[in-house]
Structure formats: structure tokens, C-alpha cells
Chain A
Amino acid sequence: MQNRLLFHQSSVSLEIIGLPDFSNDENKDQISIISQWKLTIIDKPLIEGKIEHLLPIMEAFYIYANHLVQKKLPLYESKLIDIKADNLHLHNILLKSSKPDVEPLNIKIGNALLADTINCFDQLNESSKVRLKNSYDFKNIPRKITSLLDNKVQLSNLFLPPLIAICSLTLFSSTFIYFYSPVEYKEKNELINKK
């Protein structure tokens, strides 16, 4: 008998079906081996699949939402799912099937449904009854660090201006030293004093 868990947020519900891992002495209610999942969005086609599809889809939604909030280009593309923004409040999701003859599924959702979906995924991530393998560490990495890693140009931007400043200062001071002759200066001073 398989366990079923339902995570619900307004117009979206996520159903997880699976079994506990008895080899790890888990409770009967626990789900560690996910056999199937279903994401139901009201007025939209049902999205379902296996565990290997759930994790990339969750990752796609999280990365896309982070980009959206940080006002970066809201676009995510992968073999399984593409998400891009049509405008400020319409998100275009393209789910590609791994089977060759199945047409990709196109779903358009607004900001409210996007927030509901991500909150369902959050509930799943935080649930003590479901153990997700390869859970997402990227959520805990401060984005400042990831953006630094993503964009190495920023590091050069940080060090280049002071380096240029030091070089130009050295260059200018060395030319002044070249033109300045202390003997001439002494002679001039002596002439002024004699007058």
C-alpha cells in the first residue's frame, strides 16, 4: 500500500505518492521512495511524472522565481522545462516530454499561480514526512556569493580601478622626479640670496 501526501496552497496542489524506506527504520507514514507525483493547477492541465522529473521542475521554478524577484532576465531553459516571462504578470511554461511522440505541454500562469506553486514546493521541501534526495542547497547559498561566482567580471571591476590609480600615480611622480634637479634649485636659491 503506497502513501499519499497532499500539499495545498490556494489554487495549486501537489500530491506525492510513494513508500517509506524500511531499510532505514522509517515510519509507515514516511515517503522516501517517490513513485509518482501530480501537480494540479486549477483550470490548467494536470502535470505528473516520476521523481527524476520532479526535482528538475522544482529547481526550474526556484531559479526562475529568484531571477524574477532580483529583476534579472526571467528565463530558464533545460531539456525538460522552459520558463520565460511573456510580460510582468504572465509566465510561459513549456514542459517537454522525454517520450519522442509526445507534444510539449504549454501552460501560461500568472504571478498568483506562480506563488502558489512555489509555496507548494516549499511545503514539500520542509515536510518531515517526505525525504527528498538531492534536496536543493542552492536555496541556502547567499545569492551575493553565487552572483560573484557567476560573474567573474565583478572581481576585476573591484581590483582594476585602484590598480590603475596606483600605476598612474607612480608614472606621474617618476616624470616629475626626472625633471626636478636639486643642484639647479640650489644655485637659483644662492643667486636670489646674493641679490
Chain B
Amino acid sequence: MRKSYIKNNIKIDEFDALIKVTVEMSRFLYPYIRKLLQSKDDHENNSVIWNDFENRFIELINERFNINSMKVKKLLNQTENDEILINYLLTLSLCISNQGYKKLKNFLLNF
């Protein structure tokens, strides 16, 4: 999905390390993730945070991802990507406990 001509297969240790980093980041960023979810929950009165996040997300995807891929096109489509973004944020917000690493690994292996 990324803009790259080299295909590198990720090793299991690297996969584990990335999950650990992601869990630590989501623990650190939990208040912000929560605010994003809350903004989407009450979108009529509190839409600024969600809209800012969505715009920045699309900017980053355009900059770093291969926009010819169908999966990436789905992420860029603002009418379709709501469900995907909420799912990602909810997954991260559920994995902030000490055992969050195991939870996130389970979620990813069943994705």
C-alpha cells in the first residue's frame, strides 16, 4: 500500500516490535483518540476535531501511499472511510492496557 518499489517481508520480531510501539503510542495518545471518537459520536455539535483529523489523514495518505491501489482509494473516499477510521481508532483505544500488546496482536492476526 505504501509508495515503494521494493517489497520487503516483515519479520516476526519486527512485527512484534511494531505492535509494542503502536500500543505504547496509543496509550500515550489515548486522550486524543478518545476526543476524536467523542467528536464523531456528537458530530453535529463537535465536528471540528474529527474534520481536522480526517483532512490530515487524507493528506498523509496522498503523500505516502500508493493512491492507485484500490484499498488506498477506499481510505481516501470520505463517504466510505468513516467506518474504517472509527474501527482503527476504536481498536487502538481498546489496546491501552498492560495486556494491550496481546489484544492488538490478536486483532491484527484476525483482520
Using CB atoms and an 8 Å cutoff, list the residues of chain A in contact with chain B.
10, 65, 68-71, 88-90, 110-112, 114-116, 118-119, 122-123, 125-126, 139-140, 142-144, 147
Contacts and interface: CB of A to CB of B under 8 A. Distances in A.
B interface, size bucket: 20 to 34
A112 B89 CA distance: 10
A17 B33 CA distance: 31
A69 B38 contact: no
B59 to A, nearest CB: 23
B40 interface: yes
Q: What 6 pairs between A and B have smallest CB-CB spacing?
A: A110-B41, A122-B97, A115-B93, A112-B38, A111-B37, A112-B37
Contacts of A88: 82-83, 86
B81 to A, nearest CB: 12
B33 to A, nearest CB: 8
A172 B41 CA distance: 60
Contacts, number: 74
Contact of A111 (B90, B99, B106): B90
Interface string B68-111: 00000000000000110011011101101111101100110110
> Main secondary structure on chain A at its contact with chain B?
helix
A123 B110 CA distance: 24
Contact of A69 (B31, B40, B82, B90): B90
Interface in B27-41: 31, 33-35, 37-38, 40-41
B13 interface: no
Contacts of B110: 70, 142-144, 147
B41 A71 contact: no
Contacts of B52: none
A110 B82 contact: no
B86 A111 contact: yes
A68 B106 CA distance: 14
